[in-house]
Structure 1
Amino acid sequence: MGAPVVSRDRLKDLVAQIGKVESDLVKVSDLRWELSGKRMTAEQALQKATEELEQARHMDASRLVDVALGRDVAGPSDLTAQEERVMAAKADLDRAEGYCAEVRARSEEYQTLLDTLKVKATQEANRITAESPEFAAMLEDVRQAEAVLMRAVSEVQILKRRGVPVGKLHGLFGELADRFHKHGDLVKVPMHPVESTEWAQFAQMLAMNPDTPAPGARLKKGR
């Protein structure tokens, strides 16, 4: 029987959700810029209409004075029409500001959701990594190699105690022997993937791409 396969379905679902939310966030960002331009246009239109209303009020006051003085006044007053234009411009600005506020709220909502999904994806990737058969196989290989080295070091120590000249241990074997005497082991075994740079990097990549092969799987494929 082969090694058990750790399901990545939940991680794939999380990554798919992340992709959709990121896409929605980009769309909302684009819409935010578009609506910002429309709001600016509405503000300018309201400012212009307000200035024209002030002029219309001045002209209407002047018109009333002319009428009171018995002078001829040409055409009707434009004050009412200008007041309506100001009201319409203000309504347009209110709508634009309402849209902008909704877009800002939606953007914050999507960003919060995105952050939450990324945390969940990272947690799921770490779980998959820790439970992966490749990581378990790597630990077993290290333990077996350590057992062989410990037996070799033990044999050297026996020879030394018997007075057999073995010389000074050099290189990797010497370093392992020194470590054995100081720490009681030969190899620092990472009991969790985050303690290994390679496996920590794998977990990070896995959180973004659920199809990322485990380090052990890549080695087997290359053989």
Structure 2
Amino acid sequence: HGRLRSHPPVDTDEARYDAANRDEHIDLALRWTHYIGDWDIGIAHFSGTDRRPVLVPNAAGDALIPFYPQVEQTSIDVQATLGAWLWKLEMLYNDNKFDSYTAAVGGFEFTQYGIRGGSADLGWLLEYNYDERDERAPSALARDLFFGLRYSGNDIAGSTLLAGIIYDLDNDSQFFNVEAARRLDESWVLTLEARLFNNVDRADPLFYLQRDDYLELQLQRFF
């Protein structure tokens, strides 16, 4: 069945659309960007078929049917680069036939350059995810905190590491993620990927994945 699969499964063959012409509806997307000193600002609007479907149980209750509603969505994103600090904020308002809601994510990344006098950099990340729908949100990131670190060796081997934890402030569910890569020589690359779930609450959208912890070590050869 594959990993990270919903239960019940999503039946994409039965996808439904709000628009009469289904997936051939012509959408409209506009975006304006500007910068003021160290600040970058973007404002966007989207009118058309939502790329994130609402999952509706079928009549038998053994599958989820994706329904793509028509939406009007306005968003704003702000980013400030202040020395070693990178601050970000993204907010959106989505209006559709099922719901109208506000969602946002904001946080920072602080980078330590040339740690221990070497060439490697280490970044510390912190983000807060908010969705006004809270428990009604199809995403697991309704009121969650993300903390992570990003390591870049800046070496010939291209060593990289990204590790983090997402912590649900409502029910204490935790999701751990690790990604690492390093070239062994000109032809071989070693990669590591791990996904771990801990203390996942029954009300959390990730509950059906609670036993899907996995560790993948991959050795690739390029010609």
Bin of the TM-score, shorter chain as denominator length: under 0.3
More strand by share: 2
User: Could you tell me the TM-score, scaled by structure 1's length?
Assistant: 0.17
Which is helix-richer, 1 or 2? 1
TM-score normalised by the chain length of structure 2: 0.17
